[in-house]
Structure formats: structure tokens, C-alpha cells
A and B are shown apart, each in its own frame.
Chain A
Amino acid sequence: MAIQSSPVSRPRGAFWNDAGVRGIVYQIVFVGIVVLVGWYLVSNTLANLHRQNIATGFGFLEREAAFAIGETPIAYSPADTYARAFLVGLINTLEVAALGIVLATILGTMIGVARLSGNWLIRKLTLAYVDTFRNIPLPLQLFFWWAMLRQAAPGPRQAWNLLPDIFVSNRGVVFPVPEYDPVQPWMALALAIGAVLTVLVRRWAKRRQALTGEQFPSGWVGLALILGLPLTVFVAAGMPFALDRPELKGFNFVGGHAISPEFTALLIGLVIYTGAFIAEIVRAGIQAVNWGQSEAAAALGLRQGHAMRLVILPQALRVIVPPVTSQYLNLTKNSSLGVFIGYPELVSIADTTMNQTGQAIEGITIIMAVYLTISLTISAGMNLYNRAVALPER
């Protein structure tokens, strides 16, 4: 008996009952509403701008900025353009964000591990730190640190001498820096070569261990390469070394490297605030690793250090990395609070520019574009890292 196969035809109802057709209609209506609202807002804006005689467009960036900036990592004078002022602001933002991320990670990791300490005092003190600083708004903390440095700190003549040659006064913090010497670029080169060699040695040692089971002390060799090569260059050049020390001359310090109270306050605030959040993430990440994993590692005969490095940390990092990434993003976005205490970062430059030129839309567009770019770059970078530390699953 032949099976008769008839072409299956879907029962055709009215076309408005077809889910696909409906979906398309819904989307057209939705997009239509969004476009209409957008058009309405844009036309209002253009009418209002026309009435106020404000020209649109980014032409103003070429004009002379005519305002001074307190901290200029690159050469800048009020005669420069707005574009250059924005660049100064961007570099200031990146500077405080990058340094803040590094320091907050170090602080957060230390506090996070200490939260799990066997010592009751340490446990309670770190808990108090986390609870206190997470529950107070960051702008309030920034105002506090800034007032501490600006008002409570003494003038340069009575500056607090924290460590030899490091002074804190109401003009900021000054500390000594090594003077430039032609051997330094060569030492940097030696450092880079050492780092590359270390990576190569590690790869070779891993492959050899996989083949023969023999271990190679690649950690010590790497350390020797990274520290030893620049040191060799340094010694070979006759150890040229001089410190540029800050000295009190007249009413302020001369020499050394000075950082402003604004930068210091913003950095302290960001690091302490974000560090508290990172600490909780690190603690939760370590606790998330099953206790059985440590026992299994011990049963395999791994020493404690090895167990930590090879078994516990890779699994904890998998839990820790995604939320820490969003903390890095938060820190970068929070650096915009520098505007409150007069640190000339991007938002504060844009604020001044908008007040001077009235180009509010363009100013806000620039800030948003910059922060979106930074956010997307950090999350893309951390996603790559996240993929590297993720445990391979079946």
C-alpha cells in the first residue's frame, strides 16, 4: 500500500491571526512611535536653538578655549583650542581611572582575603571597613578627603613628613623621583626582553612537564630574568642613580614630583570606595569554591601553594572576574565626580566649555561618546580575559 503523502498545508486563518504578520506590524508600530517622538524632540530642539541663535555642530572645538586648567599632563595654555582642552580632560580621566583600578584591585583583594582570616580581630575590622565605606555616598567621601587635604593639612612650611622626603601639605603631596639617565631606556628594554624570555621559558617548561613529567623551576628563572637583566644593564653602566628631591624654597616645594590635593582626594576616595566592593566580590568568589576541591587537591598530594594556584584560584577567578569588571567600569564612570572637587577631568572640562559656548548638546555628546568607548573597551578586554580563565567545559 502506498502511503499517500499530501503536501501539508497550514490551516489558513485570517492574516491578522498569523503570529509572524502580527510581529511585523507590532515592530513597525513600535519603531514608528519611537521615530515620531524622536522627530518631535529634534524639531523642538532645532527650533529652540534657532531662537537662541546657537549654532549646532562641532566647529567650536577649533576655537580658542581661553580658560586655564589646573593639571595639564600635556602642554596646554588658554590660547589652545577647546579640542585640546578636551584632550587634557580625557588624559586626566584616564590617569586617575587607571591608577585607581590598579590600587583598588590591590586593596580589595587584600581586604577580601582578610575577611576570611582565621583571626577574629582582622575579620571584624575588615568587615567594619567594608560596611562603612560601601554605605556612604562617594561624593560625600570625596568632599571629606578634599577638605582634609585642603583645610586640615598644614601649609608647605609645616608639611606633614610621612616618610623621608615625602611631604603632605595643603598644596598636595610631593615625593622624590629618580632623575633621568640615558641608561633608563636600556633598562626598560632589558625588562621587556626578560618578560618575553620568561613567557617562552614557561611554555617550554610546561611542554616538557607534559611529555616527561620533569619539573622545571620556571618561576624562579623567570624572576631572575625579569629582575636580573635590567639590573645587569644598570650595574654595567656604572650604577648612575640620583634622586630628584622635593625641597622647601620660599612658600612651596621645588623639585620632586607633586600631585594636587584634587587628584589625591579623588584617587583616595575612588580606591577606598571601590576597594570595599571588590573586597566583597573576592570574598564571595573564594567562598564559592567548594571545600571538597581543597580536600581533593590535598588528596592528590598538592602542596598548599600549588592547591591555591592550580585548583582554587582558577575556579574562584571564574566567579570573581565578571563582577570585578563592572566595578572597574563603575570606578571609571565615578571618576567623573572629580567635577565636584575641581579635578579637571573630562566632565569638568565639558562643563566649563558648555558654560562658555552654550554648546550643551555637543558637549554632552562628546562625554557620552568617550565614556561609552571606555566602557566597551574595558568590557571587551575583560571578556577576553574571562574567556582565558574560564574552565573548559564539555
Chain B
Amino acid sequence: MTDLTERLPVPEQRPRTPLTGPIAWARANLFSSVPNTIVTLVVVWLVASAVPPVIRWAVLDATWSAATGKDCRSDGACWAFIGEKLRFILFGRFPYDEHWRPLVVVMIFIAMILASCDRRLWSARRLGLMWLTGLAAVGVLMWGGVLGMSYVETDLWNGLPLTLILAVVGMVVAFPLAILLALGRRSRLPAVRALCVAYIEIIRGVPLITVLFMASVMLPLFLPTGVTIDKLLRAQVAFILFSAAYLAENVRGGLQAIPRGQYEAADTLGLSYWQRTRLIVLPQALALVIPPLVNTFIGAFKDTSLVLIIGLFDLLGTANAALTDANWRGFFVEDYLFTAAIYFTFCFFMSRYSQMLEREFNKGRRR
């Protein structure tokens, strides 16, 4: 028997086009077809005509230091404005000499958020302890009145620390409430279920702004005559009530994903409702919903900017207030870009983290 390959001599051929390398990559990703090539050229032209003016405005023609806004060049960015207003945008009217306190507060928050992202530290007790200690430290630093620090009213808590406090305290307090609401919504007792559904759906059906209005105008009316309630606390209550409804829906998603067998097995072992919930159902359900919880937290973080409506100065509030200085008029683009960059940094980091978690959690389930 003759070998077939001997009778069919295959001439040695090199591939006509390279299969790897930058040229092959450009061929596959930029010039794969005629329409694709046209699109690429149009986009390149658009980018090429948009980028140089932006760079000229932001870097080349920009003014980096100036005594007042009038010294800034009119055709470029006035970053001197940010330099002048940096501490005001970040900390607002907090006593100027005490700015190290809100600065430490912001760093505590960032450290706690970063630590919570490390899965090696994930244990309810350890994280709970860390957050309680951290929040206590935040309270001491902001209020003062002890350890030789002067007392600072909540009216002067402005800027980034206020944004972080509203978002974080809101989530931490709303979370247990949300678990109860979610359990109530899945309850077999019709009266409990109906009340929980009504609460969740009403809160989710109205804009946050109305809940804030309600807290700011109606909360004082709810309390007995003579009892007053701090403006910050009112906003915080509104945030807790609002976040609880959204978190409850996240938790419910996790509860629904737990197979029936788990409930039945717990019942077979003779566990009571609360033992079953605490030991079997919740640990599994909550682990499932961590990525959506992070997304809800991002939403809450962005939503804190709405407290402006009831007269609190969070980061967006101080950014707006910085624009009213008569010596520095008309630098809203620099101001908003800078503020947006701060919000973006926090939200982008957290959203990437939640996407990473989701991928890790789904590893076992993907083929």
C-alpha cells in the first residue's frame, strides 16, 4: 500500500496574510469589511478633530494659578479655581482649621470600603465589628466635643463626608430592615405579606425626592409637640426608608433562588422558622445577592446628591455653592468636571468590583 501523502505532494505555502501581530489585529478589528473600514475612518476623523481642542483647553491654554478669576485666561480651563475651592468643595463650611477631621473621616470610609472588598475578610462578625468601630470613630471625629476637639454642628457637615455618611449609614441601617421586609413579603401570613408588599411597592413607585420631602416636612409633624429633629437625621431617615425597599427586593431575589429542598431539610431537622431562616436560608440567599447589593449601593451613593433639595450641602451642594463666589464667576465646567470625577471614581470602582464578583460567582455555573 502506498502512502497517500507521497502521491499528493503538497507544495509548501506561507499564509498570505499574517495571523497574529498588530496588522492582523487591525485587519480583524478595524478593517474587516468595506463598511467597517468606512466606520473606522469616520470615527478616527471625529476623534482626531475633537481631541486637540480639548487638550488645548484643558492643558495647554489652562491657567494653573491665579489670584482671582479675572486673572484666568478666557480661552482655557481655569484650574486655579479648583485649587482655590478644593477644600470648600470637599468639606464645605466645616471649621477651616479642623479640616483634618473630615479628611480622616473620608480616609476611614475609603479604607473600610476597600477592606470590605477583600473576600478573605468576609465574615459577618469581623466586618460588622469593623463597620461599627469605624462609624463610631466617624461620629466622634465629626461631632467632636471630646479629646480636645471642638464641637461641630451637623449643619456644618458638608461635602464629601456628608455624601459618604448618608450613603453608608443609610445602607447599614436599611439592611436589617430590608431582610425583615423581604422575609415578610415571602411570609405565609397574609396580613404581614400585604403590609410588606404595600410598603415596598409604594416606596419603589415614587421618586426619592418625594420621600425626602416627606421626611423634611412631615417628620416634624409626626413627632409630639416640642420634639425637634435634626435636618441631617431627617434626610438620613428618608434614605433608610427608601433604600430598605430596594434592598428588600434584592434580598427577595436571593430568597427565591434557594431551592425548596433546603427549606424542607431544615424543617425535617426540626428547626424553628427563625433558626431555619438564620442558619440555612439567609446565609445562602445573601451570598447570592452580593453583586446586586453592590449595585444598589452605587445607586444610593449617586442618590445622595438629591439632599440638596432639602437644604443639605453634600458634595454636589458644595460644588454648586462654590460657583456663587463673586471673585470666581463662570467656572462651572471646571467645577462640575472635578466633582463628577470624584463621584465617578467611587462608582466606577464599585461597579467594576461588582462585575468581577458576578463573574467569580458564575464560574461554577458557566460551561
Interface residues of A (CB under 8 A from B): 23, 26-27, 30-31, 34, 41, 44-45, 47-49, 51, 118-122, 125, 131-132, 134-141, 143-144, 147, 151-152, 329, 333-334, 336-337, 339-340, 347, 351, 354, 360-361, 364, 367-368, 371-372, 375-376
Q: How far is the CA of A186 from the CA of B273 in the complex (A)?
A: 68
Quick one: closest A residue to B227, CB to CB? A44
Q: What 1/0 flags go to B184-207 for Cβ under 8 Å of A?
A: 000011111001000000101111
Known contacts A136-B340, A139-B316: A364-B309 contact under CB 8 Å: no
Docked CA distance A7–B332 (Å)? 83
Chain A residues, Cβ within 8 Å of B43: 119, 121-122, 125
Interchain CB contact under 8 A, B308 and A48:
no
Residue from B44, B202, B298, B305 within 8 A of A140 (CB atoms) = B305
In the bound assembly, the distance between CA atoms of A119 and B32 in angstroms comes to: 8
Question: Is residue B225 within 8 Å, beta carbon to beta carbon, of the partner chain?
Answer: yes
Distance to closest chain B CB from A309 (angstroms): 20
Contact B224 A44 (CB under 8 A): yes
Tell me whether B61 is interfacial, beta carbon within 8 Å.
no
List the B side residues contacting A368 at CB < 8 Å: 202, 206, 210
Name A364's contact: one of B189, B208, B213, B304 (CB within 8 Å): B213
B: number of interface residues (CB 8 Å)? 55
B337 to chain A, nearest CB (A): 8
Residues of A within 8 A of B190 (CB): 27
B344–A135 touching, CB < 8 Å: yes
Whether A336 and B320, one on each chain, are in contact in the complex, defined by CB atoms closer than 8 angstroms, is no
If the complex has contacts A44-B224, A137-B316, are A34 and B210 also in contact, measured as CB distance less than 8 A?
no
Choose from A51, A122, A144, A347 the contact partner of B207 (Cβ within 8 Å): A347
The smallest C-beta distance from A281 to any residue of chain B, in angstroms, reads 13
Give the residues from 142 to 196 in chain B that come closer than 8 angstroms, CB to CB, to chain A. Answer: 188-192, 195
The 4 closest A-B pairs by CB, nearest first: A120-B29, A135-B347, A360-B217, A333-B207
* CB-defined contacts of A334 to chain B, threshold 8 Å: 207
B303 CB within 8 Å of chain A: yes
Q: Among B29, B221, B224, B330, which residue has its beta carbon within 8 angstroms of that of A151?
A: B330
Contacts of B189 in A (CB 8 A): 23, 26-27, 30
**Secondary structure of the A side of the interface?**
helix
Closest B residue by C-beta to A43: B224
Query: Which residues on A sit within 8 Å (CB–CB) of B348?
Result: 131, 135
Please measure, in the bound complex, the distance between the C-alpha atom of A201 and the C-alpha atom of B205, giving whole angstroms: 40
- A334 and B192 CA atoms in complex are apart in Å by 31
Q: Whose C-beta in chain A lies nearest to the C-beta of B223?
A: A44
Q: Which residue of A lies closest to B224 (CB)?
A: A44
Whether A140 lies near B336 (C-beta < 8 A) is yes
| Residues of chain A lying within 8 A (CB to CB) of residue B29 | 118-120
Residues of A within 8 A of B214 (CB): 364
Complex CA–CA separation, A45 to B336 (angstroms) = 41
- Does B218 reach chain A (CB closer than 8 Å)? yes
**Chain B residues in 8 Å Cβ range of A27:** 189-192
B302 near A137 with CB under 8 A, answer yes
Among B29, B308, B330: residue with most chain A CB under 10 A? B29
Binary A-proximity of B292-326 (CB < 8 A = 1, otherwise 0): 00000010001111101100000010011000000
| Min distance, Cβ A358 to any Cβ of chain B, angstroms | 9
Is B243 part of the binding interface, using a Cβ–Cβ cutoff of 8 Å? Answer: no
By CB atoms of chain A within 10 A, which of B191, B209, B332, B343 has the most? B209
- Tell me if B30 and A34 are in contact (CB < 8 A): no
A-B contact pairs, 5 of them (CB 8 A): A118-B36, A119-B36, A120-B29, A140-B343, A143-B332
**Closest residue to A372 on the B side, CB-wise?**
B205
Chain A neighbourhood of B191, CB < 8 A = 27, 30-31
Shortest Cβ gap from B353 to chain A (Å)? 12
Q: How far is the CA of A334 from the CA of B303 in the complex (A)?
A: 11
- Closest residue to B336 on the A side, CB-wise? A144
* B356 interfacial contact with A, CB 8 Å: no
User: Which of A49, A119, A125 has the most chain B CB within a 10 Å cutoff?
Assistant: A119
CB distance from A384 to the nearest CB of B (A): 18
Query: How far apart are B349's CB and chain A's nearest CB, in angstroms?
Result: 9
Scan B19-54; emit 1 where CB is below 8 A from any A CB, else 0: 000000000011010001001100110010000000
CA distance A351 to B210 in the complex (A): 10
- Asked whether, in the complex, the Cβ of B343 is within 8 Å of the Cβ of A137, the reply is yes
Q: Is B96's beta carbon under 8 Å from chain A? A: no
| Interface membership of B274, Cβ < 8 A | no
- Contact call A364/B210, Cβ cutoff below 8 A: yes
Given A27-B189, A121-B44, A125-B43, answer yes or no on A337-B302 (Cβ-Cβ < 8 Å): no
Measured CB to CB, the nearest residue on chain B to A379 is B205
The residue in chain B whose Cβ has the minimal distance to the Cβ of A368 is B206
Given A26-B189, A31-B191, A134-B351, A339:B309 Cβ within 8 A: yes
Given A44-B223, A48-B221, A371 and B207 contact (CB-CB distance below 8 Å): yes
Which of chain A's residues have a CB closer than 8 A to the CB of B30?
Answer: 119-121
Is B339 on the interface with A (CB-CB < 8 A)?
Answer: yes
Given A27-B191, A51-B225, A139-B206 contact (CB < 8 Å): no
Residues from chain B with a CB closer than 8 A to the CB of A119 are: 29-30, 32, 36, 39-40, 43
Q: For A337, what are the chain B residues with a Cβ–Cβ distance below 8 Å? A: 207, 209, 306
- Bound Cα distance A120, B209 (Å): 40
B30's closest neighbor in chain A, by CB? A120
Residue contact A372 to B305, C-beta cutoff 8 Å: no
Closest-CB distance, B75 to chain A (whole angstroms): 13
Chain B residues with CB under 8 A of A34: 195
- Assuming the contacts A118-B36, A372-B206, asked whether A364 and B217 have C-beta atoms less than 8 A apart, the reply is yes
